[in-house]
A = this chain, B = another copy of it.
């Protein structure tokens, strides 16, 4: 594209850096900004700069938090003996929305993915081992994506923690609620049979 203005070119290029946004969408977004108020656009840009500059992580669970210890970690009514290991804040929000988990979280900040150059040392795994070594944790629930990378990370953490006397589980993989069997893929259907649950437990 041949832009008539460096300003619009810059804005388009910046938008196009984001995942899932191509140059045509980026142009549409840049033109949208031009129709917004100057002050609104200023808050728009500053929100991202502030986010990156001032971001803080909970020292306990490594979740994004404005305080040094996040609300979930400092809440005395949460069970401290159960840890749910997740990839990032999105998963914390998703699990919190289910209201099914009353323990605490441990946010890895990613999953092991050699293709993207992410190894175990790039993640918050050492601090998980340290927490477990202190002896207060009874159960660890691995709630990672059901992908190759998620499985690899599960396996790595399982190996690192197997010397400790804790229960380690992985969230159930099976047929989504509301799905029809005939459209389920074979692997999922196979797992759902191997890991079948007692009838009483299937009633939510």
Contact = CB atoms under 8 A, between A and B. Distances in A.
Contacts of A46: 45, 49
A50 B2 contact: no
Interface string A32-44: 1110101001111
A25 B29 contact: no
A21 to B, nearest CB: 8
Interface stretch (A89-97, A152-160, A176-184): A89-97
A148 interface: no
Residue among A2, A36, A38, A52 with the highest chain B CB neighbour number at 10 A = A52
Contacts of A50: 7, 10-11
Interface stretch (A58-66, A127-135, A163-171, A193-201): A58-66
A20 B14 contact: no
Contact of A45 (B13, B20, B45, B58): B45
For this complex, into which size category does the number of interface residues on chain A fall? 35 or more
B89 A54 contact: no
A34 B101 CA distance: 27
A145 interface: no
Quickly give the copy total for this chain: 2
Contact of A5 (B1, B43, B56, B88): B56
Interface string A1-26: 11111111011011001111000010
A51 B25 contact: no
A65 B30 contact: no
A70 interface: yes
A27 to B, nearest CB: 6
Given A6-B66, A7-B51, 14 more contacts: A1-B93, A1-B97, A2-B97, A3-B93, A4-B70, A7-B64, A8-B55, A10-B51, A14-B43, A18-B32, A31-B88, A31-B89, A33-B48, A41-B51
